[in-house]
Amino acid sequence: MYGPKGYLGVIAVALAAALGSGISRAAQASQERPAGLVLRNANVIDVASGAVVRNATVVVSGTRIERVASTRVEAPAGVREVDLGGKFVLPGLIDAHVHISNLDAARRALLSGVTTARSMGTGNFADVGLRELLRAGHIDAPEILAAGYHIRPDPADGLFLDAPELGDLIASGLKGTEALRRAVRVMLAHRVDFIKVNATERAGTPQTDPRKPLYSEEELRAIVEEARTRGIPVAAHAHGDEGGRAAVLAGVRSIEHGTFLSDSTLRLMASRGTYLVPTIAVVTDLTLPGGDYDNAGLQIRGRFMLPRLRETASKAHRAGVKIVAATDTGYGPNSVVRLSHELEELVGVGLTPLQAIQSATTVAAELLGIQDRTGRVAPGLEADLIVVERNPLEELRTLQDVLMVVNNGKIVLDRLNW
């Protein structure tokens, strides 16, 4: 969704920089990357099967998981050992729809247990920059899959400032297959990992009707085809059925939100393997004062949309559509939605706790195309781990209170050893 306040946040950060007050360095890398790590006395959740490996030892070598052993393993000399005292270990969570645009927000997401995030639209290619800063080891942040700007008929001004070669489209907007192909090529030139298009209007802005389609199937197909020339998938924001169905037929990889999708579109998604990222929890934010959205009109709209979105997500799950968890938040200082809230919403619409956890780990990794790197606690995968107090398969709420976060082998949050 992403309403007006997110952009104000971006402006506030830019303003702080311009005034020379300095941006907080909260996300800068906190320490040298360790040689290794041994987590003892861990109850490791195999999120693929739901099995719990009791009293396990997790051996991390560099940035990767080396082994998960149910027997005693000697730690190599100089490697840090942590006794987890029977706490539960899961893979770091994947938030498949965020609008993180600065270092503090990235840090906030990471400390909530999110070690991978798919950026679904941000200004000034901030997501590409965050991805590169992390890769170079300068910051502690989730791994970011970047989308750059969302493609929509009235894109953010920043798109034209970053890509003045699109300037002739300021007056006409991003409409028609040729203009859309050009916009996609700009994103690809900025090395995005995903293309995000708004197939319908937004819900988080008071003047727009989220049911209104914005592009024809032909236009959406042009976007999908152009992105495919570089093997890049497309995600479509869609609340209304007409725009959502057109996006599915055009070949997008995921539908974001999906509030008003019809039963026949859901069946189509199930048969084509199109993912649904319903982002239910952020609509609860719409209905309440504060948070990312704080507007009377949106509160009224949200109270109508929330039960409808829950109904659609429930039908989608029953129809066999693959469901992926996401917050749709900017992780700003006033954001109140976390991925754990979305997992509870997904259980509310019929997923089992294991399926809800999979929607933020294994299934999300498939959507992002990174299942060979992350999403499970298994040898060879990135050492992205979270530690929680209780068994989340029995008490999902424990994910709201993450005690330790390991990101690419490095402990970035430790609330066990004060």
Tell me which residues touch Zn ion (CB under 5 A).
2, 120, 328
Query: Rounded to 5 degrees, what are φ and ψ at 361?
Result: -135, -90
Q: Which is nearer to Zn ion, 2 or 293 (CB)?
A: 2
**DSSP of 164-203:** GGGGGGTTT-S-SHHHHHHHHHHHHHTT-S-EEEESB--S
What pairs with residue 224 in β-bridges? none
Q: Which is nearer to Zn ion, 57 or 119 (CB)?
A: 119
Least distance to Zn ion, CB of residue 105, Å: 14
Q: Which is nearer to Zn ion, 87 or 237 (CB)?
A: 237
Q: Which is nearer to Zn ion, 96 or 134 (CB)?
A: 96
CA distance 59 to 38: 5
CB 5 within 8 Å of CB 298: no
Q: Which is nearer to Zn ion, 10 or 387 (CB)?
A: 10
Question: Six-digit token pair at 217?
Answer: 């199937």
Least distance to Zn ion, CB of residue 201, Å: 13
Q: Which is nearer to Zn ion, 241 or 328 (CB)?
A: 328
Helix (H, G, I), strand (E, B), or coil: what is residue 87?
A: coil
Question: Six-digit token pair at 302?
Answer: 């949200």
CA distance 282 to 118: 16
Q: Which is nearer to Zn ion, 223 or 386 (CB)?
A: 223
Helix (H, G, I), strand (E, B), or coil: what is residue 106?
A: helix
Q: Which is nearer to Zn ion, 90 or 236 (CB)?
A: 236
Least distance to Zn ion, CB of residue 99, Å: 6
CB 384 within 8 Å of CB 37: no
Least distance to Zn ion, CB of residue 115, Å: 20
CA distance 302 to 4: 16
The torsion defined by the Cα of 133, 136, 139 and 140, in degrees rounded to 10, comes to 110
Cβ neighbours of residue 312 closer than 8 Å, sequence gap 6 or more: 258, 259, 260, 261, 266, 278
Least distance to Zn ion, CB of residue 298, Å: 14
CA distance 342 to 364: 13
Helix (H, G, I), strand (E, B), or coil: what is residue 399?
A: helix
Least distance to Zn ion, CB of residue 256, Å: 6
Least distance to Zn ion, CB of residue 334, Å: 16
CA distance 330 to 4: 11
Question: Six-digit token pair at 200?
Answer: 């319908």
Q: Which is nearer to Zn ion, 118 or 410 (CB)?
A: 118
